Structure 1
Amino acid sequence: MLWSKFKNLKLGFKIIIGIIAIIFLPITLTLLVIELLIRSIKNRKVLGIIISGILTLGFLFSDVVYITGIYEGITTDSTDLALEKEQQEKEAEARAKAEQKQKEEAEKAAKEKEQQEKKEAEKLPTKPIEYSSIDDLKKAYNSKLNDIMDKKQIQELDKEKITSNDVINIAKSSKSLIGQASSDSQKIDLSGYLVSLDDLNHNTTDTVKNEIYEYLVSEYKSNKLKDKDNFYEYLYLTKYLYTSFSDVNNQKADTVFDMYQIVKDNYRNLDIDSNINQVNKSLGIKSISNTSTNKVKKHSSSYKKSNSNSNKSSNNNSSNSSIVYCNGGTSSSNKYHSSPNAHGMKGAIKMTEKQAKASGYVPCKKCY
């Protein structure tokens, strides 16, 4: 029946049905066997019924297996596609996380670099500003004069990193600039300017100051403060240390001030005996008197010398504690006077004579 219907079809339909029959061959065979079974039943052929029935059952079983295989294949393909899609999504998510992490690390590195650069920019120096010429030094000093007189901090250096050796090296290097001055008085004044501008008294620890003090004491005991080759170093150090100690008004300040006078007056070939006696006294060093065969002359000389030194010391202490008036305001003169209005002076700065000398001022010849 099926076959007769198939033969009556047009060629195009035959081809289509043929292709479908081949694709679904187990089902096609099953249908043919079923048709054979129906014919055997109609014709009542027992053998045909048995054979076609067995074939029908066999093909039905194979159809079930075939259809199950197709279904499982489709299901497997769908599952594989789903798993593949899920895997792709996971990989995409992992890539996104990796890219995000990389971006965050890059931002963190950039931030750390920025902070480091900022920290480096804010880092304090360990050396004072250097001046290329004496004129630059004078201009800087005059621009900061009021702050210097008010004992304000002029520079901000890395205090914790500056050592006593650093201070000594800075003092030694002052020769290259101060040595350009033409006169001894100018050298002394300019050294005082440089000490004030370098402002190491505000930028060194008490430990460093005490180490410099011990260094100067050692140099003094070795009679090196009179060494003119080291004049610039000792002048700088004694002035720096006196400026540091003068605020606390202790014995060290007086000792260092006398050392300062020894250095600068010895360089100018002036008398330094009274200052030496003062330093010896403060350090507990006994002064050695000249021996003489004539005991009377010896005692007389010692007595006169003692009185002379006593008078010098008394006059020196009196002078050091007397009040003077230094040029201030817009004046750049380094003179101090006996009255605040001397010679039409304006903006006079009041201080003791000892402080004035330590700051580089000299007495006015008309007042003294």
Structure 2
Amino acid sequence: MKSLHAQHHALADSNYQLDVLNPAQTAGARFPAFGAKLRETGLLPLRPTEMKVLQVNVGKMCNQVCKHCHVDAGPDRTEIMTRETMQQCLDALAQTDIQVVDLTGGAPEMNPDFRWFVEGISALGRQVIVRCNLTIIVANKKYNDLPEFFAKHGVQVVSSLPHFAAGRTDAQRGEGVFDRSMRALHMLNAVGYGVEGSGLNLDLVYNPSGAFLPGNQASLEREFKQRLTRDHGVSFNNLLAITNLPVSRFLDYLIESGNYDGYMDKLVQAYNPVAAANVMCRSTISVGWDGLLYDCDFNQMLDLPVAASSTRHIRDFNLDALQNRSIVINQHCYGCTAGAGSSCGGATA
């Protein structure tokens, strides 16, 4: 397994510098360097467009241990963002026009300063997105009022639900997760989330349970809405179809199941230059639980910091330097550019 992990990231050092290896260097590689694909389509070096989203991972602690989690989150993780680092995020926001703050984890709600942080972001007049795993709402009485708290601050809730069938969801996220997710969705619906005209947005996230690309996002949304309404009386706004990137637990699964080569072939062959031009890292900065800055959440999990030496930490946030950086790429980036594309907001092409 170790050698395949090394193979997957073998081109990283050159891609950090955003320069493609020459043919002699890549001759032994199983798959072409992602940078080579970008160069073929006129996108190398990959540069930011307009900074629209500050994505903040407030900690890796989670009440679940999902099979495909690229964060490798779970109840045993102790990495938690401090209030001091959160304040540095607020200070950075105050000096920019970035309008959206996307809070992730783990289960972000498990950070003891989570509500303080949401209130601070809201006070700056910025939109808050919370990536809620749903089950946290019913996991403990202290979280039962999260729907009301979210509604009070106009939080956009984005939640993973791998399938409208209980068996498919539980296989990926753990036994009983589907039923607990339905309970949480009913609680969110009860305060207006996912209800037409309420202004409270509830989006669900679909990702495949195996080594294949997601289907058409619009078709999946229609099917999810039909089945969840009919079978469970649940409503939501949008379905976001996300490709599983070969990172962390999903990479382990690909290697252990013998699907690594086949899956990477799918991603490489499905490379879409339109999706590549719209990748989320061009309009997003990701903040790690310790305040370090990354081009995206996946780079964060691979310890690939931004290529802007003067602003590697949120306390040194410099929008001009970040706007002029080159985006760090690696082989996992094929996942964001395959087919209809993939981002934290769903399909991109």
TM > 0.5 between the two? no
The one of the two structures with greater contact order (alpha-carbon pairs below 8 A, sep at least 6) is 2
TM-score, normalised with respect to structure 1: 0.24
* Bigger strand share: 2
* Bigger helix share: 1
Larger radius of gyration: 1
